[in-house]
Structure 1
Amino acid sequence: MFDVSLLQIEQWVADFLWPLFRVASFFMAIPMIGSNLVPGRIRLGLALLVTMLLVPVLPPMPAFDGFSLQSYLIIAQQILIGAAMGFMVQMLLQVFVIGGQLISTQMGLGFASVSDPVNGVAVVVLTQFYLQLTMLLFLAMNGHLVMIDALAQSFERMPVGLAGIDRSIFIEVVRSGGWMFASALLMSLPAITALLVINFAFGIITKAAPQLNIFAIGFPFTMLMGLLIAWVSLGGFLGQYLRIATEALERVGQLFAGG
């Protein structure tokens, strides 16, 4: 007969649960899949499926002791690693969200906000357009598959267990926020510069002809020119996305997958 002890069954369950915490937290934090539009059952089912595919090829798991403090620390660690990886992908989308916000504020559309069904918050119209375009490009270029591959490789770089994990990785994740704001500024800099020149020209006109109502003339003209600049800049949007996405995925690979 097939003789299996209770300790072996507990260890088998642990071999499946340790990776599941990391995978599930990753799918809860990653864009699109972790959004409010995807039900929690679907995210949990996807996490279970991916975990079942990963378990046979993962390194050996630590011994299981459900009532020890070490087990709870490992669970918290796996949740933190998965959420950090999803947070890094969120930064990729937030680059264009912040860039669109900067452009909209400069052109006078900062007050025109719509509800974002993905994140459940109100964002400006131009930001919503950039966000939808970025998500479509991310899926079209198999960015989700790249992230799942990085998640699988993270078990080699950061194995399950309290030992052997470089805690400076999480510090680098926090420092990546500076990269996010710098990339957003670089992405929106051409449009902001052009709109700044237009506002500077209106300032000179106001100084030369104070009798003109510059608010009645300048505001519609600035908004119209802002829309024109945003339309013209779409020709280089793909190049900007490729550059920013490459940097973001390289950061994820270097921090979590050892690539």
Structure 2
Amino acid sequence: MNYEEIVNLILVYLLCSLRLTGLIFANPLFSLPSWPMPVKLWLALMLALVMVPSANPQVPVALLSTWTGVTFFAVREFLIGASVGFLAALPLYALQLSGYMEGSQMGLAMATLFDPAQEGSVALVGQMKYLLGIWFLFHWNGHLLLVEALDRSFALVPLGKGFTGIPASQPLGRWLTELFLLGIRLSLPIMGALLLADIGLGFVARTVPQMNVFILGIPLKIGLGLILLMVVMPLTVDLFYGYVSRALVWALEGTVLWR
């Protein structure tokens, strides 16, 4: 192996590690704030060693001879990995969004707790469903499927392949629409039941004016919401699982847009 081949191999390894770094920093499974930064970087470097044989590099050496070319390919590979990580996490964000909507309807919008991992206040129901979603993703080997999806991205978008332009915004709009629709579908049973409870409390307030419906409604809606949350949890998990597999397809579609 001559000097030029060694340099090209090192460049391919660095570009692979940048794509993996984008994935790790954009996906919640790997970007947990409790993970130290050196652990994330070492994880990207170690996984890059495994993916170098399947990288299928098509890097023009002439472009890598300038800082402009190196910067261009480095930013591009990081963005490709970040797009894979973000699109694969859309069902998890939708699950968290449904928890925020349910908590607001239950009257827990002002009830927050301090999360030391995120260094800020988070909503109770939204954070609970978010952590449950992360647990289920690890239980379903979602982290391994995510790495496999990134490995397949090297076949769809080889390192250094010609860049045709900025990715189209139309597919991104479709994916974000799917995110909000999934969040509404996940929260619709509980929100519908709580809406009926509000209507019932309204009738009670009209027929029995002496009753303090406001004081009665707060514990009633919280208790009803928590009971319904446990009842519909199996359906929520099934729907969430179906969208997780679809999100991996979206992640691969997102890499194709960078060709």
Q: Same fold (TM over 0.5)?
A: yes
Aligned to 1:217: 216
Answering whether residue 64 of structure 2 is matched by residue 52 of structure 1, we say no
Whether contact under 8 Å (2:54, 2:151) holds in the other structure is no
Aligned to 1:85: 84
Report the number of matched residues: 255
Cα deviation for residue 24 of structure 1 reads 1.3
Aligned to 1:235: 234
Q: Take 1:216 and 1:77, find their aligned partners in 2: how far apart are those partners?
A: 56
Structure 2: gaps spanning 5 or more residues: none
Whether contact under 8 Å (2:83, 2:254) holds in the other structure is no
Whether contact under 8 Å (1:88, 1:173) holds in the other structure is no
SS in 2 for 1:109: coil
Mean Cα displacement is larger for which, 120-129 or 32-41?
A: 120-129
Cα deviation for residue 164 of structure 1 reads 5.2
Once the two structures are superposed, the pairs formed by residues 127-142 of structure 1 within 5 Å of their partners are: 127-142=126-141
SS in 2 for 1:196: helix
Aligned to 1:12: 9
SS in 1 for 2:232: helix
Structure 2 residue identity aligned to 1:83: A
RMSD, matched Cα: 2.2
Structure 1 residue identity aligned to 2:144: L
Aligned to 1:207: 206
1:118–1:253 Cα change, 3 Å: farther
Mean Cα displacement is larger for which, 32-41 or 118-127?
A: 118-127
SS in 1 for 2:29: coil
Cα deviation for residue 212 of structure 1 reads 2.0
Aligned to 1:102: 101
Identity of aligned residues (%): 24
1:42–1:134 Cα change, 3 Å: same
Aligned to 2:112: 113
Q: Take 1:126 and 1:132, find their aligned partners in 2: how far apart are those partners?
A: 10
Please list every run of at least 4 consecutive aligned residues from structure 1 whose deviation after the TM superposition is greater than 6 angstroms.
Answer: none
Q: Take 2:74 and 2:169, find their aligned partners in 1: how far apart are those partners?
A: 16
Mean Cα displacement is larger for which, 27-36 or 179-188?
A: 27-36
Cα deviation for residue 257 of structure 1 reads 7.1
Q: Take 1:162 and 1:257, find their aligned partners in 2: how far apart are those partners?
A: 11
1:12–1:235 Cα change, 3 Å: closer
Aligned to 2:31: 34
Cα deviation for residue 137 of structure 1 reads 0.8
Aligned to 1:160: 159
Q: Take 2:170 and 2:116, find their aligned partners in 1: how far apart are those partners?
A: 31
Q: Take 2:54 and 2:186, find their aligned partners in 1: how far apart are those partners?
A: 40
SS in 2 for 1:50: helix
Whether contact under 8 Å (1:96, 1:131) holds in the other structure is yes
Structure 2 residue identity aligned to 1:237: T
Mean Cα displacement is larger for which, 67-76 or 47-56?
A: 67-76
Aligned to 1:184: 183
Q: Take 1:171 and 1:116, find their aligned partners in 2: how far apart are those partners?
A: 35
Q: Which protein has greater RCO, CA pairs closer than 8 Å, 6+ apart?
A: 2
